[in-house]
Amino acid sequence: MIEISSVSWTYPHAETPALRDLDLTVASGELLVLCGASGSGKSTALRLMNGLVPQFHDDGILTGTVTVEGMITTGVELDALGLVTGTVLQHPRRQFFTDSAREETAFAMENFGFPREHIRTGVQEKVTELARWVPVSQRLRGLSGGQQQQVAIAAATAHDPRILLLDEPSSNLSADAVHRLAGTLAGLKTAGVTIVVAEHRLRYLQDLFDRVVVMRDGTIDKEWTAAQFRAVPDDLLADEGLRGDIRPAVIPILAAAGGSIAHSVPNEQAPTATLHLDGIRCRLGGRSVLDIDKVAFAAGEVTAIRGVNGAGKSTLARIVTGLQTSAGTIRLDGRTLTRRARQRASAIVMQDVQRQLFTDSVQAEIDLASTDAPGSPDTAAVLEALDLAPLAERHPLALSGGQQQRVVVAAARVAGRRIVIFDEPSSGVDRRHLQSISDQIRQVAADGAVVLLISHDDDLLALAADRQLTLTPVAQEHGASTVPAAAMTRSLKETG
């Protein structure tokens, strides 16, 4: 059981508390969903439960008491809390301690001194399941964001914690992976595991959760049982910034051909195009990850890039923006672009936007990105539209994940680049800000840019996309496998 009693918490150097007199009890075996607008305190509440607040952020100010499985979190070591809890962060790259799925899966068990045979058996079970969807022989940094997320979930549950804490676990997952996540959570709940999920996308959890708690300004604003939640009208969900039912749009398929293209369409159906890709081939870690014979994108349109985790979507983004080498030719307005030229012509919003925050204030980030060209967007208006104006003087790294996401979206909006790519820009984003981000993406296209929108978020695509291109994993050469048998056997022998 988890009990949070009259807790207030202020992060080091923050001017206002992240949590205010929070009272929350989670029963053993309960699946609780925490939701609410970005910055409402959801992630901080999870950090209370695993002891990172205050033991990791030890210069902050804490009042009140947090009890987890009978332990007062300020009076025990972090490893005692880690033994009973498993945590999955929104951006799993930040929680990895190793560079392979096998080592990461074994990491917690090894640290807790589990018997060698127990570790070997546990790793074999988890990695064998992962290998159905993830190329586990590759280094973690070479996996897609969604594949990293699946590794993080496996690693967080490998030591059989009694409590599982997940922060936006569906944010980078394709529809099939979200379905598997729901199945995993259902199995853990049946086994009696207590589960707390901070999440904006509620549909995949609607048959699993026992209770929904809506947070606002660091405290509880509303609370519904599962039965009560099903009766909540959509307009009330909208008032709380919660995702409701947005009808998926019918989005035309873009003409393209190649081994990575899920739905090949004759090229004569392509729109009048500005950005042409020909013969794009990319191999990473000895595997072919992208194979596009021909595709062309029009300026003034938003093209959704879709596909399962590992289909090559983010690789395509890195190639187009000059961040990744590949074979083939990329032309803009008929002129072939070198990698350096593509870097100058492009802006990108990455999945983990912390990589793109460089200054000491939100305003400085926007000023750094903006241009003084005639007709360039008014930066103050962009900040206002994305609800960032009140945060203009805040340090970007002191913001919530969703707020950081909007800062980098704003920077891309004012950058004035000919090619702009948004890679999962709605992760960690509530309903109201989903609309404002969609508006900014469409405005970038209206300004004349080629816009590629990589997303698994049907809500966002219904609002923003004009066309879609669906990628599929490249078929590997005969005899190649996701996980070579010899490598699997060797890794399992090495574990423990």
If asked whether residues 352 and 392 sit together in one domain, one would say: yes
Which pLDDT belongs to residue 247?
63
Domain membership flag for residue 479: no
CATH number, domain containing residue 417: 3.40.50.300
Taking only the tens place, the pLDDT of each residue in 304-326 is 999 999 999 999 999 999 999 99
Which pLDDT belongs to residue 483?
39
- For 87, 175, 192, 477, the CA distances from 167, given in Å and listed in that order, are 8, 18, 20, 37
Q: Under DSSP, is residue 473 helix (H, G, I), strand (E, B) or coil? A: coil
Domain membership flag for residue 377: yes
Answer yes or no: are the C-beta atoms of 77 and 467 closer than 8 Å: no
Domain membership flag for residue 247: no
If asked whether residues 161 and 230 sit together in one domain, one would say: yes
> 272: which 2 tokens?
């009048």
Q: Is 307 left (phi over 0), alpha (psi -120 to 50) or beta?
A: left
> 257: which 2 tokens?
């051909």
If asked whether residues 320 and 383 sit together in one domain, one would say: yes
If asked whether residues 209 and 299 sit together in one domain, one would say: no
Domain membership flag for residue 148: yes
Residue type, 406: R
Which pLDDT belongs to residue 140?
94
Which pLDDT belongs to residue 427?
82
Closest CA to 167 of 428, 473, 443, 494: 428
Answer yes or no: are the C-beta atoms of 174 and 96 closer than 8 Å: no
The residue whose two tokens read 């042409």 is 276
**Which residues lie below 8 Å from residue 187, measured CB to CB, with a gap of 6+?**
none
Burial of 226 (0-12, 13-18, 19+ CB in 10 A): middle
**d(Cα 201, Cα 175) in Å, to the nearest integer?**
12
If asked whether residues 150 and 299 sit together in one domain, one would say: no
Domain membership flag for residue 297: yes
The residue whose two tokens read 């790519």 is 421
Report if pTM > 0.95: no
* Residue 360: CA count within 13 A, CB half-sphere: 1
> 177: which 2 tokens?
């992976």
Count of domains in the chain? 2
If asked whether residues 336 and 390 sit together in one domain, one would say: yes
The torsion angle over the Cα atoms of residues 308, 310, 315 and 316, rounded to 10 degrees, is: -30
The torsion angle over the Cα atoms of residues 380, 381, 383 and 389, rounded to 10 degrees, is: 70
Q: If you write DSSP's letter for every residue of 231-264 in order, what string do you get? A: T--HHHHHHTT----PPPP--PBPPEESTTBSS-
The residue whose two tokens read 């990895």 is 96
Domain end (from 209, 239, 269): 239
> 54: which 2 tokens?
């205050």
Residue type, 49: M
Which pLDDT belongs to residue 389?
96
Domain membership flag for residue 357: yes
Neighbours of 70 (CB within 10 A): 9
> 465: which 2 tokens?
């996309």
**Which residues lie below 8 Å from residue 337, measured CB to CB, with a gap of 6+?**
322, 330, 331, 345
DSSP strand E in 338-418: where?
346-349
- For 149, 289, 293, 340, 466, the CA distances from 321, given in Å and listed in that order, are 24, 17, 18, 9, 21
Domain membership flag for residue 126: no
**d(Cα 210, Cα 84) in Å, to the nearest integer?**
21
If asked whether residues 311 and 416 sit together in one domain, one would say: yes
> Domain containing 321: what range?
256-470
Taking only the tens place, the pLDDT of each residue in 233-254 is 888 888 888 887 656 678 999 9
Instruction: Per-residue pLDDT tens, the chain, 496 aa: give them.
Output: 999 999 999 998 888 999 999 999 999 999 999 999 888 999 999 999 999 999 988 789 999 999 999 999 999 999 999 999 999 998 888 899 999 999 999 999 999 999 999 999 999 999 999 999 999 999 999 898 899 999 999 999 999 999 999 999 998 889 899 999 999 999 999 999 999 999 988 889 999 999 999 999 999 999 999 999 989 888 888 888 888 765 667 899 999 999 999 987 765 555 567 999 999 999 988 889 999 999 999 999 999 999 999 999 999 999 999 999 999 999 999 999 999 999 999 999 998 899 999 999 999 999 999 987 777 899 999 999 999 999 999 999 988 888 999 999 999 999 999 999 999 999 878 888 999 999 999 999 999 999 999 999 999 999 999 999 999 999 876 444 443 333 333 333 333 3
Residue 203 phi/psi, 5° resolution? -60, -45
If asked whether residues 425 and 371 sit together in one domain, one would say: yes
If asked whether residues 219 and 339 sit together in one domain, one would say: no
**Which residues lie below 8 Å from residue 493, measured CB to CB, with a gap of 6+?**
none
Tell me the H-state helices in 57-174.
Answer: 78-84, 101-111, 116-130, 145-157
DSSP strand E in 298-386: where?
302-306, 327-332, 335-336, 346-349
Q: Which helix (H) or strand (E) holds 19?
A: strand 19-26
Q: Three-state secondary structure along 34-72?
A: EEECCCCCHHHHHHHHHCHHHHCCCCCEEEEEEEECCEE
Domain end (from 178, 206, 239): 239
Domain membership flag for residue 358: yes
Residue type, 96: F
Domain end (from 211, 239, 267): 239
If asked whether residues 47 and 188 sit together in one domain, one would say: yes
If asked whether residues 234 and 271 sit together in one domain, one would say: no
If asked whether residues 273 and 347 sit together in one domain, one would say: yes
Name the β-bridge partners of 295. 256, 277
